[in-house]
Chain A
Amino acid sequence: MNTPALKELLYKIADDQLIYGHRNSEWTGFGPLLEEDIAFSSMAQDKVGQSYALYQILNQLGEQEPDTVAFMRNANQFHNCVLVELPNGEYDFSLIRHFLYDTALAIRFTMLVNSSYQPLAELAGKIKGELRYHTLHANTWIKKLGTATEESINRLQRSLDMAMPYALGMFEPSPFERELINEGIFEGEEKLKLQWMPKVEEVIAGTNLQLPDWKIIKPVMGGRSGQHSEHLQPLLDEMSEVFKIDPSAEW
């Protein structure tokens, strides 16, 4: 097994999940409806839980403890895509990001069910129900608000246009694409993107929203190699604030 390639893959997914989960948890207590506040918070908690499972696998491969990895790195050591670190903005943007991101994540883990790396294949099988709920939640809201009122459609459209270059940054190729594919660990970012696009098109087709032309969108890359926006470091500072007071504390 090619360990550097595997680690790169695991870090990228784990960091996406941790940062995205933490970002979405900022909605807790501020959701637009009580029920939605609970649902969105629960999903954020699922994401952090999934990142923990991935950091545990990395720990078995010789990386540091999950808490150390999560709380003690600086922004340039994180491999998440820029999409997940962007501020929440208003709820329309958070919903659009949720839809674009979770659609990709669900496909990624469906692909990983067949991974030659057993721990990852097992995790993918285990969390499929959580991911199914996350996409069900996203698709239901997008269909609903994407066909509701002029305001809801305009807001989603603006957020969709704004988010799309960042969304394509999710598929930034890894330096190990060939190794991952050849060893059957993961079928690759390009294949993931090619499955993601028609899925996004399918849901958007059921709304009054317009997809921007794929060909003219310029993806925002760099996140996978630690080049982030100015929004990541403040998020990390806040997330690790309590941990850093007493890293040895038991919870």
Chain B
Amino acid sequence: MSVKSLDPRVNRLPGYGASAEIKPKAALDQLGTFEVFVQAKEGKPFQHEGIVHASDIELAFVMAKEAFTRRFQCVSLYTVDTRDVYVSPLTDGNQSAYTLVQQPAPQTTEKEKFEIYHLLKRGKQHVHVGSVEASSPQEAMYLSKEKFSAGKVVFNIWAIRTKAIRFTRDEDKDLWLTLPEKKYRDAADYKAGNKLSEFLAKTKSNS
């Protein structure tokens, strides 16, 4: 009996052992992904929190708001198409990723603004460190070395064209106004442990 998998990655694999026409790999059967960055408090840097699936960047922003900022605190978030995130080589901490970024050949194209992110520990998130003007993502990273990396071992660098980002607009700043009050979304607020202890104590004294 053959079982049809629910995993799209499995279903995109070619069939086993049967002769068939040579054809392109099946297209992705899900929506594309967008990267989500969150600012928890005023003055704190934006931090990468994860991805959402969406059909465009506007819908990604709407989905990201509840997927990543439905608890605790948030003052702003932004989204960007995954394909607009440029990624440096990765290191495991024995050297800075900046040592692996080559100096780009001189470029004549117009300079654009790029946002730069650092990963300072494996398993942590990329955190925004600032922006630079450059003609390419590679040049943006190269220029960031001096500007942002003093004394740091950076495991990985991201560069994103500022214009590719869907930022929180000023009129959307109040989206998170009541968020700190939504304690019912925080499991700890139910104090289930205390309730269980009380219940057990009561059961014991009754028996």
Contact = CB atoms under 8 A, between A and B. Distances in A.
Contacts of B172: 132, 136
B95 interface: no
Interface of A: 33-36, 38-39, 42-43, 45, 49, 126-130, 132-133, 136-137, 140-141, 144
Given A136-B62, A140-B59, A144-B59, A39 B175 contact: no
B82 interface: no
Given A35-B66, A137-B62, A129 B174 contact: yes
12 contacts: A35-B53, A36-B63, A38-B70, A39-B65, A45-B184, A45-B185, A128-B174, A128-B177, A130-B177, A136-B175, A137-B62, A144-B56
Contacts, number: 58
A126 B177 contact: yes
Q: Which of B31, B58, B174 has the most CB atoms of chain A within a 10 A radius of its CB?
A: B174
A133 B54 contact: no
Contacts of A39: 62-63, 65-67
Q: Which of A35, A39, A129 has the most CB atoms of chain B within a 10 A radius of its CB?
A: A35
Contacts of A49: 182
Chain B contact residues (Cβ within 8 angstroms of A): what range? 20 to 34
A49 B65 CA distance: 18
A33 B62 CA distance: 13
Interface string B164-199: 000000011011111000101100000000000000
A33 to B, nearest CB: 6
Contacts of A132: 171-172, 174-175
Contacts of A35: 52-54, 63-64, 66-67
Interface in B45-86: 52-56, 58-59, 62-67, 70
Interface in B1-58: 31, 52-56, 58
B176 A129 contact: yes
A202 B135 CA distance: 40
Nearest to B60: A35
B67 A38 contact: yes
Q: Which of A38, A127, A141 has the most CB atoms of chain B within a 10 A radius of its CB?
A: A38
A125 to B, nearest CB: 9
List 6 A-B pairs, minimum CB-CB distance, nearest first. A129-B174, A129-B177, A35-B63, A39-B66, A42-B66, A140-B62
Contacts of B59: 140-141, 144
